[in-house]
Amino acid sequence: MNKLIFTFIALFFLNNCSLNENSKIWNGNQNIINNNKNIKKVFYEEKRIVSEFNQGLKLDLSKIDINFNPINNQNNLGSQNFSGLLTKNEKFKFSKIEEKEHVKFKPIFFNDGIIYFDRKGTIIKYDKNKKIIWKKNYYTKSEKKLNPKLNFFKYNQNLIVADSISKYYSINLQTGKLNWSKYNMYPFNSDIKMHNDKLFVVDYKNTLRCYKVDSGSECWNLKTEDTFTISNSKYSLIIVNGAVIFSNSIGDITSVDINSGLINWQLPTQSNDLINQNFNFKISKLVSDNKSIYFSNNKNEFYSVDIKTGITNWLNQINSDLTPIVIRNLIFTISKEGYLYVIDKDKGNIIRITHIFKYFKEKKRNKISPQGFVIGKDKLYLTISNGEMLRVNLDTGIFDRIEKVSRSFISRPYIYKNNLYIVSNGSIVKYH
């Protein structure tokens, strides 16, 4: 009897718990599915498939122009005077550093030596024989613990410094003695440029600041749109045709009258969605040929922009945050994946794409990334994240030598007076 009653009750409940689409049980699951459809992936990066193009095309570089004075306000290095033998190396040593970002700061080169800094902000002047001429540190004990990183600019017999902890100052190049020292409200995050008696530098709040070179007093400043996060890359600025043109953390390019500080034009290059994830946004240095500005970013965008109007001349899909190099009517750049692009600078057409990393095994390719490159007389020199440097034939895009510079992180290469320099962890390596 009890078994009969239990069976009757079980059948009653099963009959009421319908498995149709109107069931409350299944409605709950359906709501979960419907809600999932409304979920938006915020940090999504589109992956483009890139392949080689015209890889058999050889460039005629017989009439290439050599830039014997690459230090300029337009970041236009061009082809520089270096033969590319890499037969000998020397080292200018300093204390080991802790952050990879340290090596991204450029040394000052002289005919008779080099100036650089260590992890505590000590400025060191070496002679050409690697002997230390003087060492000066103008930071307090607490400031040294912040590991200040220094941007340098040489002006006559003085060295101008703007650092990553809000300080800027001037010292005498011969003696290292302090001329003047001041503080900004925020740390600096760009190279220093100069025009006549004025200095220009951008801080982390996306503010362009103009200072007098003889005293450090501020002439004017211009603040652009700010974000809540700190950029992973340095901002860039150039001076051309009476204007200071600079980038900021959200990809805005702004042209400012060099005397008044008033905006000539502004070009936003990114949508509002990117502002919320700009910690991952990286942009190359701005480069100019007096008519246009060229730059790229890690969002698959390479721009050519008219200097006078700020109007985009052309836009191509190239994933790179390395500084492009302009030689005559050609632009050279290297993507994050190791593809060398040769571009027609007037129309933006891609002339050739060569995969420099294709001869590496896939396991190695997945672990390395380009750090920076320079172009010598007929060779391209590319440093990569594993401490190696590749020498690439510019006419074919194929590398013919691998040079192990360091076991640790290294900087982009620099060419000065037919020598090539690379900053590594604890030294500056010199190649003849």
What is the rounded distance in angstroms from the CA atom of residue 118 to the CA atom of residue 116? 7
Q: Is the pLDDT of residue 426 over 50?
A: yes
What is the rounded distance in angstroms from the CA atom of residue 160 to the CA atom of residue 170? 5
b/e code 141-170 from CB counts within 10 Å (16+ = b): eebeebbbbbbbbbeeebbbbbbbbbbbbb
What distances in angstroms separate CA 197 from CA 91, 242, 312, 344, one per listed residue? 35, 14, 32, 37
Q: What is the pLDDT of residue 369?
A: 95
Q: Is the pLDDT of residue 11 over 50?
A: no
Quickly state the pLDDT bin for 114 (edges 50, 70, 90).
very high
Quickly state the pLDDT bin for 280 (edges 50, 70, 90).
confident
Q: By mean pLDDT, which of 32-36, 147-151, 286-290, 348-352 is the weakest?
A: 32-36
Tokens of 198: 């004025």
Amino acid at 422: I
Mean pLDDT of 90-104: 90
What is the rounded distance in angstroms from the CA atom of residue 375 to the CA atom of residue 240? 23
> Most confidently modeled of 77-86, 160-169, 272-281?
160-169
Radius of gyration of the CA atoms of the chain, in A: 27
What is the rounded distance in angstroms from the CA atom of residue 231 to the CA atom of residue 248? 9
Q: What is the pLDDT of residue 25?
A: 37
Tokens of 124: 């060191």
What distances in angstroms separate CA 344 from CA 174, 314, 348, one per listed residue? 45, 11, 5
Q: By mean pLDDT, which of 39-43, 90-94, 375-379 is the weakest?
A: 39-43
What is the rounded distance in angstroms from the CA atom of residue 183 to the CA atom of residue 204? 14
Mean pLDDT of 154-182: 96
Q: By mean pLDDT, which of 63-77, 342-356, 382-396 is the weakest?
A: 63-77
Mean pLDDT of 381-399: 94
What distances in angstroms separate CA 388 from CA 80, 254, 273, 297, 408, one per listed residue? 21, 36, 36, 23, 9
Q: What is the pLDDT of residue 34?
A: 41
C-beta separation of 64 from 80 below 8 A: no
C-beta separation of 223 from 207 below 8 A: yes
Quickly state the pLDDT bin for 230 (edges 50, 70, 90).
low
Q: What is the pLDDT of residue 213?
A: 96
Tokens of 330: 């050609």
Sequence-distant (≥ 6) Cβ neighbours of residue 201 within 8 angstroms: 151, 162, 168, 188, 190, 191, 192, 193, 208, 209, 211, 237
Q: In CATH, what is the architecture of 40-431?
A: 7 Propeller (2.130)
C-beta separation of 322 from 372 below 8 A: yes
- % of the chain beyond a pLDDT of 70: 85
Q: What is the pLDDT of residue 23?
A: 41
Q: What is the pLDDT of residue 17?
A: 45
Return the number of other C-beta atoms located less than 10 Å from residue 212's C-beta. Answer: 12
Q: Order across the sheet with 108-110: list the strands.
A: 108-110, 113-117, 123-127, 132-136
Q: Is the pLDDT of residue 391 over 80?
A: yes
Q: What is the pLDDT of residue 146?
A: 95
Q: How many helices (H) and strands (E) does the chain have?
A: 5, 34
Q: What is the pLDDT of residue 3?
A: 45
Q: What is the pLDDT of residue 60?
A: 82
> Exposed, middle or buried: residue 51 (CB in 10 Å: 0-12, 13-18, 19+)?
exposed
Tokens of 108: 């000052």
Return the number of other C-beta atoms located less than 10 Å from residue 110's C-beta. Answer: 16
Rounded to the nearest integer, the mean pLDDT of the chain is 87
Could you tell me where the DSSP H helices lie in 43-163?
141-144
Q: By mean pLDDT, which of 39-48, 63-72, 74-83, 157-166 is the weakest?
A: 39-48
Q: Is the pLDDT of residue 38 over 90?
A: no
Sequence-distant (≥ 6) Cβ neighbours of residue 271 within 8 angstroms: none
Q: By mean pLDDT, which of 30-39, 87-96, 211-220 is the weakest?
A: 30-39
Tokens of 37: 């459809």
What is the rounded distance in angstroms from the CA atom of residue 374 to the CA atom of residue 82? 10
C-beta separation of 376 from 361 below 8 A: no
Q: What is the pLDDT of residue 277?
A: 57
Q: Is the pLDDT of residue 4 over 80?
A: no
Name the β-bridge partners of 182: 168
Q: Is the pLDDT of residue 281 over 70?
A: yes
Q: What is the pLDDT of residue 13?
A: 44
Mean pLDDT of 65-83: 85
Tokens of 52: 């080689």
Q: Order across the sheet with 167-172: list the strands.
A: 150-155, 158-163, 167-172, 178-183
Quickly state the pLDDT bin for 227 (edges 50, 70, 90).
confident
Q: Is the pLDDT of residue 32 over 80?
A: no
C-beta separation of 115 from 124 below 8 A: yes
pTM score, two decimals?
0.86
Mean pLDDT of 369-390: 95
What is the rounded distance in angstroms from the CA atom of residue 189 to the CA atom of residue 104? 12
